Amino acid sequence: MTRVLASQAVLFDLDGVLTDTAAVHRRAWSALFTEFLPTVAPAAAPYTDADYFALVDGKERAAGVRCVLDSRGVRLPDGALDDPPEAATVHGLGNRKNVRFTDIIESDGVEVFAGSLRVVDAVGAAGIPMAVVSSSRNAVLVLETAGLLDRFLVVVDGVVAGREHLAGKPAPDMFLSAATTLGVEPARTVVIEDAVSGVQAGHRGGFWVVGVDRGTGVTALRDAGADEVVADLGELLV
């Protein structure tokens, strides 16, 4: 925790780091591809959680769709961002997944990891500015539902990335944008991530990276560039 409390700022990923919404994303992606893949690739291997961690986790929504389809030899047109959920396009499938995700959030709410909340409290008490950097286009909805939105000076999410033409993770652009907005130096800023693509983004941007192992694996996070790996953010307070 010494490194965190000595930093100029802390940039948190959202799903799987602050909130247990990564599990909701896994459910939504699984429902989407378990239903869709047999209609276009009946002989393809069934979609599993291993696909989520290897192909989807941490990526922008359309990129995740493309990666899964590519892994099964399926090609679809990108379509448009506002394609209806029933459209057989990359963005249509992404929007179909998003409908499932928001339905779950609205019915079940959002769980905040207790250890992560303690770290947010400690960083805030130290007067260190914080930001959320998430590939999700639902970041503000999730933060509002969890009662966390007012804790963060900056939110760089999928909506901001699209508007400002920022490359998604594993490119460092979204983290660098948050650091620029906060007026801090990457080398003196901490990134906290649970996805390989997010760890790679933080590492490539020159940040100190804490990996949170929610199922990705310590070795995978270390290999991606994590400087430290914990199973729960609460471990930083010990």
Residues with catalytic function:
13, 15
Which residues lie across from 193 on neighbouring strands?
211
d(CA 189, CA 180): 11
> ∠ CA 22-138-15 to the nearest 5 degrees?
25
Q: Which of 117, 119, 121, 123 is nearest to 5 (CA)?
A: 123
Q: Which amino acid is at 213?
A: D
Residues 6 or more apart whose Cβ sits within 8 Å of residue 70: none
Q: Which helix (H) or strand (E) holds 97?
A: helix 90-108
